[in-house]
Structure 1
């Protein structure tokens, strides 16, 4: 018989401090996906297809080593926990390379390609050793099905504050510095330094105020069950889990949709719509505020109706919006804002609920394989997300090149304008629909999860248990 567990709320201090770590994650992640391709094409002069290839190689490199970071995190033995030591060690190099990727050096085409490829590889490598333990930490702060959603809603507030800063601030600062007589390349150096400082500060706040709050940190019985296992065996066991396959597929497809739709906006607003820095910044501020405004509604709906169906429904609405606006375009700023409201419902749901759903796989892994491997579970999902994001930047570069886009000219051709529109709407809309289709097969629901937790607690205590009510998850 299924059992309904009572939700145990986390203290405000923990939710707030954990959300600060999300700011550290999202500042670097979003300034990269919003502006790095644009920086390379329009300020360094790298051809768009080559610029997209730099991102593709670097992010695939990072994604491949995500499981390594997760495995190291899972197997760390420290009185300070398994996650936080890695987070603080990675925070400084992560912030340094966030600064260096926006530094242009006068080199030839080949040397420029090598320089930015190396810098982006180092950026993403240090990023993963902060963010994989950070996300795994979230699964260790609570094992409550609903409270994980609330924790992720708090984190999403931090996420969209960072998105607002990473999207709205650079165009404004760029125009301000250039109007003051500074070159565009030097302007980007200052912008990189500002964001690097924000990354380091928020990471340190999260690290400091979550110390000792992991629910399994002092549980000797849990430590005994977390025996060391090989990396490849751990990855194989987690990938075999039924929930992993379908959630990872959905994460991959929406990562493509989200990255293309958001990363292409700077091209859309500058070239198709003719917006200056003020209008661009205004849109990005509104975009982030709309995403934050959706969060209480998403959290309430997920707690009432189940994460999976809310996730599928709201991503579906966002995907339909993308497809619809590929036909209409954006003749008015008000139309762009309507697009923002519809797409943000899907995107906010993705960044809030997919992590919460991912955390629930950690208990499925423990039930099936007798291991707590939050790090590797996080890494597998991060791999799917980053491969999707890498494909998106590569697709964007290729499609822009195919449409005849030239980053060194002020006026684009009609074919380039049309391709910019499709990069922001039609193509991500198709991938968004695939994300919805994949998650419909995801088997974890609250009733099944609560029943499994009863059985898991009995299993931990070597008591009798039954899996009849949650067999479909296994």
Structure 2
């Protein structure tokens, strides 16, 4: 059996709390950035959607490069995280600052540039943050436990990142300050909290032995050709294409629902969004908090693939029924939040630990451990999917007549129901085809250990993986 390393409970909780650093910003961005650009900055909806799309795509392209650099011998993923935390927070505040005086072209250039830089710093923090677990432990169940604990803690990040922007800007305006100041203060508070939790995560790992950080650097810089070759090699791993399909399709679905909540409340229900949005977040976070331990337990008893197919199927069916009934009442708004949460709870509990399992697949095939690349490439498709989802919401708003003030509620509703359901169905197909089960992973570990010791080994039963 492969060597297993463990985190102490204190180190595990400190590391897992680091997810709040990225979750606060991620959730405020995906829920409110379109609203900020269309309703505060007053940009046309298609331009607002394009800003988010282009910025996130540029970040997605950078993800695998950052992953490859963090995989170098002598590279310490903790240093990547620490150095990214402060500029990430500063740029997040800049992204939510209303510059006011410029026209649409000037605003478009400013927000595009700032969001691109923010997402780049975000990637420099998150890629090493998630990849480091594959260096810490090779145990299937411990990886599930770490990611499950992290996903449970993430409920606090999801709640704060969604609920605070729903009420704080309005509260600050009520005190006599401008809307501009309300958004700056909200982004500033979340940024400060993010930096704090990022530092806690780094400090919690300071006594943990990391394979790549301990290895001696050969002093050579990775060439672009070498990095690109590593990407191609990882993409050729048999299970990888199905894993990517699952990630890509689900993130389109979840980002559409998340970005559309405010418009759903205003246009489909005809209500003020602030207080209703807080209840939506309570339903969302409460469901995630309740279901994450259930997902983790099922994934431990059975495996992560089975748990994912089960919960995503429930989410998909719920959204289809929601479209049939129609989102015209508050209970149906909360209904959408619940079934979104069913899928989200499952995805974030198992996503990264499923990626970690591909590290051993790649090691068997290539003879190298490339935790950073294998964590970063799915993030490329994750962010690509999220960007497409946000852009699609902007497109649907445009088609609904939102910019002219004559929005069609029925069209806007589709961004929270039937369109995401279709993409979840595609994600489920990817999971059905994904061949890495718990049983096969354990067999792979045994075979890999024998290969590394120079012993004879038998790969029968692993044909779909290798």
Q: If the length of structure 1 is used for normalisation, what is the TM-score?
A: 0.93
Counterparts in 2 of 1:76 and 1:59: CA distance versus 1, 3 Å: farther
The aligned residue for residue 262 of structure 1 is 258
Determine the structure 2 residue equivalent to 1:439. 431
Partner of 1:312: 309
**Counterpart for residue 89 of structure 1:** 83
Q: Which residue of structure 2 aligns with residue 417 of structure 1?
A: 409
- Render the CA deviation track for 1:374-429: whole Å, top value 9, x for unaligned: 111111100010000111111111110011013xx8xx53x531222111111111
Query: Are 1:348 and 2:345 counterparts?
Result: yes
Measure, in 1, the Cα distance between the counterparts of 2:146 and 2:221.
Answer: 28
User: Aligned to 1:289, which of 286, 311, 317?
Assistant: 286
Question: Which residues in structure 2 correspond to 1:9-88 (within 5 Å)?
Answer: 10-78=7-75, 82-88=76-82
Distance 2:184 2:73 in 1: 36
User: How far did residue 47 of structure 1 move?
Assistant: 0.3
Task: Report whether the alignment pairs 1:249 with 2:245.
Answer: yes
* d(CA) in 2 for partners of 1:380, 1:196: 26
C-alpha distance in structure 1 between counterparts of 2:423 and 2:12, whole Å: 32
Per-residue Cα deviation, 1:234-261 (whole angstroms, up to 9, x for no partner): 0001000011110011100000000001
- Kindly indicate whether residue 230 of structure 2 is the aligned counterpart of residue 238 of structure 1: no
Unaligned runs of 5+ in 1: none
Contact 1:142–1:215 (8 Å) recurs in 2: no
Q: Tell me the distance in 2 between the aligned counterparts of 1:389 and 1:419.
A: 20
Q: Which residue of 2 aligns with 1:430?
A: 422
Aligned to 1:380: 377
CA contact (8 A) 2:322 2:335 kept: no
Deviation at 1:7, TM superposition (A): 9.3
Structure 1 residue 99 corresponds to structure 2 residue 93: yes
Change (3 A) 1:142 1:6: closer
Deviation string, structure 1 residues 51-84 (Cα, Å, up to 9, x no partner): 1011111111111111110011001515xxx311
Deviation at 1:266, TM superposition (A): 1.3
Indicate conservation of the 8 Å contact 2:283/2:338, yes or no: no
Cα distance in structure 1, aligned partners of 2:349 and 2:288: 10
Q: Are residues 1:466 and 2:466 paired?
A: no
How far does residue 137 in structure 1 lie from its aligned partner after superposition? Answer: 0.8
Shift of 1:216: 2.8
Deviation at 1:116, TM superposition (A): 0.3
Distance 1:11 1:120, change over 3 A: same
CA offsets, 1:125-155, max 9 Å, x none?
1111111111101222211112211111111
Q: Secondary structure at the match of 2:172?
A: helix
Secondary structure of the residue that 1:164 maps to in structure 2? helix
- Distance in 2 separating the partners of 1:44 and 1:239: 40
Q: 1:255 to 1:265 in 2, by over 3 A?
A: same
Displacement after TM superposition at 1:270 (Å): 2.8
Residue 211 (structure 1) aligned to one of 180, 203, 206: 206
Q: Distance in 2 between matches of 1:227 and 1:14?
A: 32
Please give the alpha-carbon distance, in whole angstroms, between the structure 2 residues aligned to 1:356 and 1:223.
27
Contact 1:318-1:347 within 8 A present in 2 as well: no
What corresponds to 1:280 in structure 2? 277
Q: CA RMSD in A?
A: 2.2
Deviation readout 1:14-73 (Å, 9 max, x if unpaired): 321121111111111111101111100000000000110111111111111111100110
Q: Give 1:8 deviation, angstroms.
A: 8.1
Kept in 2, the 8 Å contact 1:308–1:445? The answer is yes
Query: Residues 218 and 134 from structure 1, CA distance in 2 versus in 1: closer, same or farther, beyond 3 angstroms?
Result: closer
Tell me the equivalent position of 2:171: 176
Distance in 2 separating the partners of 1:468 and 1:15: 36
> 1:264, 1:214 → 2: CA distance?
43
**Match for residue 398 of structure 1?**
395
Could you list the per-position Cα deviations for residues 163-209 of structure 1 after superposition, in whole angstroms to 9, with x for gaps in the alignment? Answer: 10111111110221111122212110111111110110010000001
For 2:133, the equivalent position in structure 1 comes to 138
SS in 2 for 1:424: coil
Higher mean C-alpha displacement, 442-451 vs 157-166: 157-166
Say if 1:7 and 1:87 are closer, same or farther in 2 by CA, change over 3 A.
Answer: closer
The equivalent of 2:442 in structure 1 is 450
1:317–1:343: 8 Å Cα contact kept in structure 2?
A: no
